[in-house]
A and B are shown apart, each in its own frame.
Chain A
Amino acid sequence: MNEKDKNKKNQQPNEIIHEAVGEEYKYGFVTDIETSVIPKGLNEDIVRQISALKHEPDWLLEFRLKAFAHWQTLKQPTWGHVNLPEIDYQDISYYAAPKQKTDRPGEIDPELQRTFDKLGIPLEERMALSGMAVDAIVDSVSVRTTYSERLAELGIIFCSISEAVRDYPDLVRRYLGTVVPYTDNFYAALNSAVFSDGSFVYIPKGVRCPMELSSYFRINAAQTGQFERTLIVADDDAYVSYLEGCTAPMRDENQLHAAIVEIIVEDRAEVKYSTVQNWYPGDKEGRGGIYNLVTKRGLCRGDHSKLSWTQVETGSAITWKYPSCILKGEGSVGEFYSVALTRNYQMADTGTKMIHLGRNSRSTIVSKGISAGHSENSYRGLVRVAPKATGCRNYTQCDSLLLSDTSGAHTFPVIEVGNDSSVVEHEATTSKINEDQIFYCNQRGISTEDAVGLIVNGYAKEVMAKLPMEFAVEAQKLLSVSLEGSVG
């Protein structure tokens, strides 16, 4: 075959697909609402101003100031397998609040209502889908939390963290920063200094939360950063399933989302935390997109407690995220199920840490990376078993699927086992999407784009099966849509 034919052969499936690249980021619109934004820049006065805007108690201001002082001693980390530029932290505004035309409690500005309608997020309780309570956060503030009263009847607290600081200061103070201290890392210190809103969940002893709780994070204002802070506490024998979704407008500039999520799980309690992350990923040339730099960690403090992280990551220009479990309780269980899809020039460095401190604790890690275009997709994981934590088990399965010759898949696993009664297993595979599989589908009348969607969803099925029903359908669609134009 001559060179031209070779090119033709290689390009044929690409070309079919490139015609379909038209699929744009569906959530890239901007809501036209007046927003009060504090001036750009970061210094002690800004930290004080944020705290004052939120009418915070002194102990919290002190916490912020200590974090800020510590942050100033740190440098932006460079160890991730991502090409993160030096961010100018003085060129970001740290607080932006949409001005609502209504100030009656429980009511939401019609413009914001329309925004969430467009995003498909139910904020009307009577119209809501089969029992899903929502905390809706735009830029730096929570604009609406649904079902709070009904949940309160069961003793469940579900509100924004700002309200929790005001209404339940003792609870917040007892737990805030206990799993992710502000000294943890650069972004954790930054978040602890300037965090604005996020959700607070408290499930009392013996209560099973009867509905899915969810937070929806929306960045709207330009040139701002979002600093989410979420805290979830499940007391003895409690259960909760929590979902998180995120989107942002399409812009040529990069925007920062630096979050902290802390979870505390007491004796025999269980928390399921699911994320569908669909921040704006940047355009085809890699312009714009969100920098998603987050610290998520749970402490399984109680015996036989369980924490399960499930994430579907398709958005963000750069993702730097390791939802982790500290398995302190005896027989505690940690799980991490992840699908991370990168395309165009996206870069994702994601994985988990399973720290076994309690005897007979168990953990499972299933990570499925999918890389397309010119993207870089890395799994980074740590499994550590402390010397005294005897009888522990870990199983890790780490798969990579390459959809193009120009994308990269990497794994950086670290395993440290401190005793010989524990068993740690690690399996890893890398595969390339198979031309014969695509042709088989074509021959049955299924187009290349649909075939890739089918194959990738099949590949990710094990993880998708862990998502709550309503979310799974959305996530499946998201995977297929994100893939259009990705093979080659």
Chain B
Amino acid sequence: MLKIKDLHASVEGKEILKGVNLTVRPGEVHAIMGPNGSGKSTLSSVLTGHPAFTVTGGEVEFYGKDLLALSPEDRAHEGLFLSFQYPVEIPGVSMVNFMRAAVNEKRRYHGQEPLSASDFLKLMREKRAVVQLDNKLASRAVNEGFSGGEKKRNEIFQMAMLEPRLSILDETDSGLDIDALRIVASGVNQLKSKDNATIVITHYQRLLDYIKPDFVHILYKGRIVMSAGPELALELEEKGYDWIKEMHNSSAE
């Protein structure tokens, strides 16, 4: 579904991604790990079309379409979802209004009628259960006054509402205590199917105990320097990133 070929991108004139290659097929879970500043969050921003990033080379194909040519909202309509590392607050805009706009825009893009108010509220109720999101949170303004854990649960709730084909979870585990982590991971697992795929961006093995990856990639200095099975994450947990850095730096010189 997703083919990234030699992707280069920069922000404020500084090149961050220096030739990323990655292929994701339906049903797969990919973990992208790597030390701070290696370009993990840049990759998710570039894929979703954040205007602060400039693509300077390469291509990305999503279900046969040129992803980079689509507007951010059309990428969303095509089924790309990002669970933000730092979800923003939108004061005064209720979650209900926000989600209704999101769901109905997607339906319109696919030539479907908007959901009736009662069907929509039913859907909200159903999906809230996936991450045990309180009804009170759902009626509050988007992320306003939410705790760190509530914000992340709210991201997965939105993912459940929008039923994406490819979800990118950007450090969804950061700032979560163990209970919240379990709820979030269980939500992600419930949404998993043979037709959709997940990219999990994380520093730590911890999340991967709950969301089992099929592939683990190490992103370092803007390139994927190593790809392997889930055992690679365990190795990283044990040995840290220094050996990767050493290996990469010596081979590069």
Contacts and interface: CB of A to CB of B under 8 A. Distances in A.
B8 to A, nearest CB: 13
A12 B52 CA distance: 10
B93 A454 contact: yes
Given A9-B52, A9-B54, A450-B105, A445 B77 contact: yes
A162 to B, nearest CB: 42
A183 interface: no
A268 B209 CA distance: 67
Contact of B92 (A12, A13, A457): A457
Interface of A: 1-2, 5, 8-9, 12-13, 16, 434-437, 439-448, 450, 454-455, 457-462
Interface in B26-71: 48-52, 54, 71
A429 B75 CA distance: 35
Most B C-beta atoms less than 10 A away, residue of A1, A447, A450, A461 = A1
Contacts of A458: 90-93, 141
| Candidate in B72, B93, B101, B162 with the most chain A CB atoms within 10 angstroms | B72
B198 interface: no
B186 interface: no
Given A442-B73, A450-B101, A459 B91 contact: yes
Interface centre among A13, A441, A461 (most CB of B within 10 A): A441
B90 A445 contact: no
Among B101, B106, B162, max chain A CB count under 10 A is at B101
B76 A445 contact: yes
B158 interface: yes
Interface in B135-166: 141, 158, 162
B193 interface: no
A3 to B, nearest CB: 10
B215 interface: no
Contacts of B88: 434, 436-437, 440
Give the interface SS of chain A, mostly helix, strand, loop or mixed: helix
B10 interface: yes
Contact of A447 (B49, B75, B105): B105
A5 B54 contact: yes
Interface string B97-109: 1100110011001
B71 A16 contact: yes
Contacts of B120: none
A398 to B, nearest CB: 16
A434 B89 CA distance: 10
B162 A445 contact: yes
A442 B13 contact: no
Nearest to A450: B101
A458 B90 CA distance: 8
A460 B48 contact: no
A319 to B, nearest CB: 24
A454 to B, nearest CB: 5
Contact of A444 (B12, B54, B102, B109): B102
Given A1-B13, A2-B13, A454-B93, A444 B71 contact: no
| Most chain A CB neighbours (cut-off 10 Å) among B11, B102, B141, B158 | B102
B185 interface: no
Contact of B72 (A5, A439, A460, A461): A439
A2 B15 CA distance: 12
Contacts of B106: 445
25 contacts: A1-B10, A1-B12, A1-B13, A9-B52, A9-B54, A12-B51, A436-B88, A439-B72, A440-B87, A441-B90, A442-B73, A443-B49, A443-B73, A444-B102, A444-B162, A445-B105, A445-B106, A446-B98, A446-B105, A450-B105, A454-B90, A458-B90, A458-B91, A459-B92, A461-B92
